[in-house]
Amino acid sequence: MAEMTYLQAISDGLRVEMRRDKRVFVIGEDVGVYGGAFKVTLGFQEEFGPWRVIDSPLSETAIVGGCTGAAIMGMRPVAEMQFADFISCAWDQLVTVAAKQRYRAGTPVPIVVRLPSGGGFSGGPFHSQNPESSFAHIAGLKVVCPATPEDAKGLLISAIEDPNPVLYFEHKHLYRRLKADVPEERYTVPFGKARVHREGDDVTVVTWGAMVHTAGDAAKELEADGVSVEILDLRTLIPWDKKAVLESAEKTSKVLVLHEDTRTGGFGGEIASTIAEEAFEHLDAPIVRIAAADSPVPFSPPLEKAFIPQVDDVVKGLKELAAY
């Protein structure tokens, strides 16, 4: 075990795979000499050389499309979007080409696109988004949202190993905020298996990414009121652990779904409707959804705070649900 930040754990996972497997390479804007905008690939070019840590022109389409071609030729590319927001420029390559190639042409596309996502530090409308739900809707893409350093490493290795296009959402606000013991050896964390972040009996929170920690802080506050909150960290949205969610819903009978992506059309709606369809008779209260507002991510701190679900918002939601 070694103590690592969430960011160091991502670097460590990537480095472990690049040392183990020559097919793995990194491509993105400023990932080489500069080490990446957030320094995830700092020192990589020195170790692996300029043809495995490739500084690309400002060309998201060519980065993702290039990864697809290289993957079909047997490589295991890992693309970095400088910010998750810029994935919009490569939408066509992901959604039109990569996602559908296995289904229609029988050709697997094992690529990973790393997406530094999330807000909380006045990044504004173009450096703060959490567009995971948009991609969860596209058949053929896998969507991964690690919430802890240990998962950040293990899920990245699983993503590289996976024979499909994987969108790996790494939350920028967790990069240096979280520090924990991470196994130094290579390990994988399987997709589609939720993690119980906190065990509880009275209310279930289903969430992922940075909101796991917001939920954790809220749950601590509810302890004082004698409310026991269970927190399920989904870890991956595609595939998502329906079984674990339904089991927890059956256990507590009250569910709050929480995400930092915007509310309408967010993945929380999918979870809520699945619970309503399959565990309705176990519920003692309507499912509560807490999500970001249906607006672009605003810049100014009070606006951004109002946009992103805060601990107080979750506390309020949990209290109402507990009292229902």
Partner 1 sequence: MAIAREAEPVSSLHEIREAGLDREDLLGMYRTMLITRGIEERGHILYKQGKIPGSFYTGRGNEASSVGVATAMGGDDVGTPLHRDMGVHVTRGVEPWRIFAQYMGRADGPTRGRDGNVHMADSKLGLLAMVSHLPAMLPVAVGCALAFRIREERRVSVGWFGEGASARGDCHEAMNLAGVRRLPIVFICDNNQWAYSTPTHLEYACETLADRAQAYGFEGVVVDGTDVLAVYREAKRAIEKAREGGGPTMIESLTLRMEGHAVHDDAFYVPKEMFEEWAKRDPIERFRSWLRENAALTDDEEDEVAASVKKLLADAINRAEESPLPDPSSLTEGVFATPEDLDTPHHK
Q: Is 160 in the site for partner 1 (CB under 8 A)?
A: no
Q: Is 32 in the site for partner 1 (CB under 8 A)?
A: no
Nearest C-alpha neighbor of 291 from the set 269, 275, 316: 269
**Smallest gap from residue 232 Cβ to partner 1 (A):** 23
| Range 250-279, binding partner 1 (CB under 8 A) | none
Q: Is 180 in the site for partner 1 (CB under 8 A)?
A: no
Q: Is 26 in the site for partner 1 (CB under 8 A)?
A: no
Q: Is 244 in the site for partner 1 (CB under 8 A)?
A: no
Q: Is 164 in the site for partner 1 (CB under 8 A)?
A: yes
Q: Is 25 in the site for partner 1 (CB under 8 A)?
A: yes
Nearest C-alpha neighbor of 303 from the set 315, 311, 293: 293
Among 5, 8, 41, 93, binds partner 1 (CB under 8 A): 93
Q: Is 96 in the site for partner 1 (CB under 8 A)?
A: yes
Copy the structure tokens of residue 74: 């047997």
Distance CA 20, CA 262 (A): 38
Q: Which is nearer to partner 1, 43 or 50 (CB)?
A: 50
Distance CA 98, CA 117 (A): 21
Q: Which residue type occupies 308? A: I
Nearest C-alpha neighbor of 136 from the set 103, 165, 171: 165
- Residues carrying an active site annotation: 127
Among 28, 36, 65, 149, binds partner 1 (CB under 8 A): 65
Distances in Å between the Cα of 298 and the Cα atoms of 38, 132, 173, 182, 289 are 22, 18, 16, 34, 21
Q: Residue 182 in contact with residue 148, Cβ under 8 Å?
A: no
Q: Is 242 in the site for partner 1 (CB under 8 A)?
A: no
**Contact residues: partner 1, CB under 8 A:** 25, 27, 51-52, 54, 56-57, 59, 61-62, 64-75, 77, 92-93, 96-97, 100-110, 139-140, 142, 163-164
